[in-house]
Amino acid sequence: MALLAISVFLTYYFHAILMLGTVFSHFFYIPIILTALWWEKRSILVAIFLGGLVVISSLLYRPELLTLNDYGRALMFVVIAFVVASLSEQLKGREQEVKRQRDLVQRYLDVAGVLFVVIGTDHTIRLVNRHGCEVLGYREEELLGKDWFDTVVPGAFREVRRQTFNEMIARKTSIPGQREHPVVTRSGDELILAWQDTVLTGDDGQPIGIIGSGADITDRIRAEEEMRKAHDEANLYLDIMTHDINNANGVALGYADLLEAMLDGGGQEMVRKLRAGVGRSIEIIQNVTTIRRLHSHETATKPVDLDAVVRAEIAHHPGARIAYSGETVRVMADDLLSEVFANLIGNSIKFGDPGVEIAVRVEESGDKVLVSIEDTGPGVSDAVKPTLFTRFARGTSSRSGKGLGLYITRTLVERYGGRVWVDDRVPGRPGRGAAFRFILPRSSRAREPPASPAPPAACRIVTARP
């Protein structure tokens, strides 16, 4: 309204006082353009008013100076108002659309359960979601425009994080994967975020900042640390217990050997039962140790000489009748493979008669190796077979144990990428002996020459103890 009042005054002053033409009317573009920017199409009314003012004032005060140019200028006022108003509407429409999209994105970010933040190339915070404000303990207006590293990154990590940020901007590539990212809250508490970020680029492909997301894993990290400490403490107690029990078992076996030599008849039978009980204690300790090793190491297989493992286990049973034809083959396993043979051969000896015969067979088939351990013992009934390798499953024999040995066997074989099962040695006749079979992946590496000469016979038999 002030500009329109000035326009009326200028029209009167130039026409009535100075008796000049309409050069002053160039001033009229200012209120026309401003009105078009502010009120869009309503500026046309202002343009018509100012154009009419020019023409009417010329007719009233200097009609002899009124020319076609004056009518053209009045028309130009209307055209300028229309064009600028149209452009202003388009710009405002785009601004509103951008604002709607930004508000929509902000709502999406606000409902997310993790921190989201946009950090500009100048290290300032451009956008942060509601959960991020809650995690950091700030209001949104307190964070926007602040330096991210000076505000929320702990001092010990500040320069390293800043340098990493600058390198990502320079390379236009963020660090892949998730990593731990410490932050400090307004109250001074230090939190650990599971952090991921990506570089944002503009229409010209140049970086404009980084968008990062972080989930608070402080409680999880602390819980894992407490669990790790508890695990280490439990392992310490287990190591002490295992060491002391093994020492006690060793002493008990020593005295049992002395008693067996001193006694006869019923006394020797009692000593043999004592030795069996101590042996059971040793077996329990060995199972516990194996399970601990299974759960404390990652699966990392390597080529293993299967023949050497089999021969080493046979050597532990010099009083058993075990037939084995040497097969130089390498499989993918680890140092615990011997436990598989110890459990299966040990079961055949434990549950078989004194004269039980055991055969170990190795067959190669493509990239697999089939191992069979067959015995002439009492066999495994069909009702027991489906659950035989599950934890704490027991057989029907009075000498059946707790089932940990076969559970460990299955765990190890599956860890190597194979499988294990039990068949009848004579198909369809469970009482004629059992055949434990398992498959192992064959090593793709070339075979290495044996360290010692191969056995001369095709079958090695160890005669049973009388």
* Tokens matching residue 439: 């498959």
Q: How far apart are CA 345 and CA 142, in angstroms?
A: 72
Nearest to 332 by CA among 289, 367, 290: 367
What CATH class is the domain 112-216? alpha beta
Q: What is the pLDDT of residue 392?
A: 56
Q: What is the pLDDT of residue 244?
A: 79
Q: What is the pLDDT of residue 271?
A: 81
Task: Quickly count: other Cβ atoms within 10 Å of residue 328's Cβ.
Answer: 14
Q: Is 306 helix (H, G, I), strand (E, B) or coil?
A: helix
What CATH class is the domain 298-466? alpha beta
Q: Is 101 helix (H, G, I), strand (E, B) or coil?
A: helix
Q: Answer for the pair 388, 347: CB distance below 8 angstroms, yes or no.
A: no
Q: What is the pLDDT of residue 12?
A: 67
Which residues touch 299 (CB under 8 Å, ≥6 apart)? 415
* Tokens matching residue 403: 């089932």
Strand positions, DSSP E, 306-367: 321-324, 330-333, 357-365
Nearest to 320 by CA among 356, 294, 366, 288: 356
Q: How far apart are CA 289 and CA 294, in angstroms?
A: 9
Q: How far apart are CA 36 and CA 83, in angstroms?
A: 9
* Tokens matching residue 222: 């602390």
Q: What is the pLDDT of residue 390?
A: 83
pTM, two decimal places: 0.47
Residue-level pLDDT, tens digit, the chain, 466 residues: 787 777 777 776 776 666 666 556 667 777 878 888 887 777 888 778 877 777 777 777 665 555 666 677 778 878 888 888 888 888 888 888 877 877 776 666 666 678 989 999 999 999 888 888 989 999 999 999 999 999 999 999 999 999 999 999 999 888 888 889 999 999 999 999 999 999 988 888 899 999 898 999 999 888 888 888 887 787 777 778 777 787 888 888 888 888 877 877 778 788 878 877 887 777 777 777 777 776 666 567 899 999 999 999 999 888 899 999 887 899 999 888 998 999 999 889 888 887 899 999 999 988 999 999 999 999 998 888 888 888 655 555 544 444 578 888 998 999 899 999 999 999 988 888 999 999 999 988 655 444 444 443 333 333 333 2
Q: How far apart are CA 205 and CA 4, in angstroms?
A: 47
Q: How far apart are CA 439 and CA 367, in angstroms?
A: 10
